[in-house]
A = this chain, B = another copy of it.
Amino acid sequence: MKKYLLVAALIISSLQADDPLPSWKSGKVKQALLDFINNTTDKKSPKYIPEAERIATFDQDGTLWVEHPVYTQLQYCLDHAKSKSSQEQDLEKLAMQTSSGMSVAQFQKDVSSWLATAKHPRWQRPYTELTYLPMQELLTYFRASGYKTYIVTGGGQDFVRVYSDKVYGIPPEQVIGTAISTKFTYDTSGKPYLLKEPNLLLNDNYAGKPEGIHMMIGRRPKASFGNSTGDKEMLEYVDGLALIVLHDDAEREYAYGPAQNLPDTEIGTFTQELYNEAKAKGWLIVSMKSDWKKIFSFEE
């Protein structure tokens, strides 16, 4: 009898090991994700996609990591403005002020230093630890299935590129974000460098997301993941799977948006209208509360 139990335990543990999405609860959403990968990577399936065309795009704030109470990058800007005694009130101007007028290398250094010490007010952990474990599993699963994974964020491209590889396994060339121009110039010793200038080149939100995807990738994604109206056009543009994350878990994370009948906030707006469009078009809606066993890797 003991022997049978051992065999059963081995089978179960092997099945678990074979589950590419262990933090996802079994159900419609998880099954749809598994089916999508199975179908698009199976040469015999009518839904098969050649590997070169397997592009998956992920929004960051609210989709891959926490965006409340404020976007991580906004917190960076606020902290930096404070240290520079800025009186700037306009958020867009503030972001521009704290990310231009310096070399790309200096900006990267500033972001790295800040990330090494800044902590999220609720969890008292570095922001880079506040990524969603189920989404990390998805990134890994998609890559293991031959997909190129991209971040397509309204956040600053140069900001996210500082940590994207370390935090998500996504190299800088696969990060598309809001970008300001740079100017190629020379230092006093004649060495060339890039100076960040206060000119908006790409506003990677709303229609800017598919437009940015076209500029940077030149192909339509086969899967796209978002969580707000800023992702709507990207989700409409996808040629395949569209998914939105619904923040409905006030206990483990935050609850906002249509599921709670809460008013839209400035951050991460997921309007009733978007919810209706998602339902009508058959996009996958992920309930953080019901679909995710575990949200953060540090959870017990």
Q: Measuring CB to CB, which residues of chain A are less than 8 angstroms from any residue of chain B?
A: 52, 55, 104, 148, 157-158, 161, 165, 171-173, 175, 179, 181-184, 192, 194, 201, 207, 210-211, 214-219, 233, 236-237
Structural contact, B215 and A173, CB atoms closer than 8 A: no
Of all chain B residues, the one with the shortest Cβ separation from A193 is B237
Say which residue of B183, B210, B211, B218 sits within 8 Å of A207 (CB atoms): B183
Give the residues in chain B near A171, CB-CB below 8 Å. Answer: 52
**A111 vs chain B, min Cβ distance (A):** 13
Nearest CB of B to A218, in Å: 3
A184-B237, A192-B236 in contact; A158/B218 too (CB < 8 A)? yes
Report A242 CB to chain B, min CB distance, Å. 12
Of the candidates B172, B182, B184, which one forms a contact with A219 in the assembled complex, judged by CB atoms under 8 Å apart? B172
Contacts of A165 in B (CB 8 A): 52
Flag if A181 contacts B218 (CB, 8 Å).
Answer: no
User: Is there an interface contact between A201 and B172, defined as CB atoms closer than 8 Å?
Assistant: no
With A172-B218, A173-B219, A194-B211 known, 17 other A-B pairs at CB within 8 A are: A55-B173, A148-B173, A157-B215, A157-B218, A172-B219, A173-B216, A173-B218, A182-B211, A182-B214, A183-B207, A184-B207, A184-B210, A184-B233, A192-B210, A192-B236, A194-B214, A216-B216
